Amino acid sequence: MSENKEIFLCAICNIESGTCNEDCKFCTQSVKYKADIQRYKKKAIEQIVEEAKRARANNANGFCLVTAGKGLNDKRLEFVCEAARAVKKENLGLILIACNGTASVEQLQTLKEAGVDAYNHNLETARDFYPEIVTTHTWDERYQTCKNVKEVGLRLVCGGIFGLGETQEQRVSMLESIASLEPMNVPLNFFHPNSALPIVENSVTREEAFELISLARKMVPNAMKIMVAGGRELMFGEEQYKIFEKGANAFVIGDYLTTAGRTPAEDIAELERQGIKVIRERN
């Protein structure tokens, strides 16, 4: 590993959990599958702020406010804005990201005015495979939301998930669609099986997963960050820090939406041991 390798860390804050009525077959947040997860409507603002402070103390560069559900409605938008303003008031130097599903230009403009810097909306998979895993909303709605993000001048974070039974051609198709949107950050998720979900296993091997990271870097060369997000520990095991040799330069630190990650202390210690520098500056 190169001594001057520099990476970014991002933390996720699940501010509304397990209340989604959509039927995405890979997601435990859906009420349809009755997965054994924590479910709540609103996390306390004070707790959100404390998690932001903890994320910054752990060298995170980005902090993402995530809600369950297809998209933004008036109440959810008001809550995310309240959380965003509270975090921004602390002047932590974090890039504040919102991830709240489909959103209109007007809703995204409201988030921007509340202090949100970037919006995360993943395409999830290829357009032609999407109906196999989601029937309650369309891929085109997702793509339009990403275009809306660009229209209002927020930074776009857009990625997807591998291992749902898609073909290699469909993985390439998804990356082509992502590249067409010119996102700032591309989060790559790897399916984390759960006994409650219709999809029973991850169809990607570890070797294929490494190759997909390299492919993403090649196909979306202008992205500031190729980030490995959900499923990192399960997918890569003891080889998880090799992702930086394959083209990734960011990962999620701490827990994910409904699954636990390594502790930040473990990750930070291993990054230091391998001589990998974590970028703290706001970018």
Binding-site residue set: 20, 24, 27, 64
- The H-or-E segment that residue 66 falls in is strand 62-66
> Cα dist. 60→116, 176, 218 in Å?
16, 29, 25
70 CB-contact burial (10 Å; exposed 0-12 / middle 13-18 / buried 19+): middle
Residues comprising the binding site for [4Fe-4S] cluster? 20, 24, 27
Residues comprising the binding site for [2Fe-2S] cluster? 64
* Beta pairing class for 185-190 and 160-162: parallel
Q: Compute the distance between CA of residue 37 and CA of residue 143 in angstroms, rounded to an integer.
A: 29
Q: Closest by alpha carbon to 80, among 53, 56, 105, 103? A: 103
Q: Compute the distance between CA of residue 235 and CA of residue 254 in angstroms, rounded to an integer.
A: 16
- For the four alpha carbons of 161, 167, 168 and 173, in that order, the dihedral sign comes to negative
Q: Compute the distance between CA of residue 204 and CA of residue 226 in angstroms, rounded to an integer.
A: 18
Q: Compute the distance between CA of residue 67 and CA of residue 178 in angstroms, rounded to an integer.
A: 22
- For the four alpha carbons of 128, 106, 227 and 202, in that order, the dihedral sign comes to negative
Q: Compute the distance between CA of residue 103 and CA of residue 73 in angstroms, rounded to an integer.
A: 9
Q: Closest by alpha carbon to 175, among 145, 141, 220? A: 220
Long-range contacts of the stretch 1-4 (C-beta < 8 A, 24+): 1/241, 1/244, 1/245, 1/274, 1/275, 1/276, 2/275, 3/275, 4/277
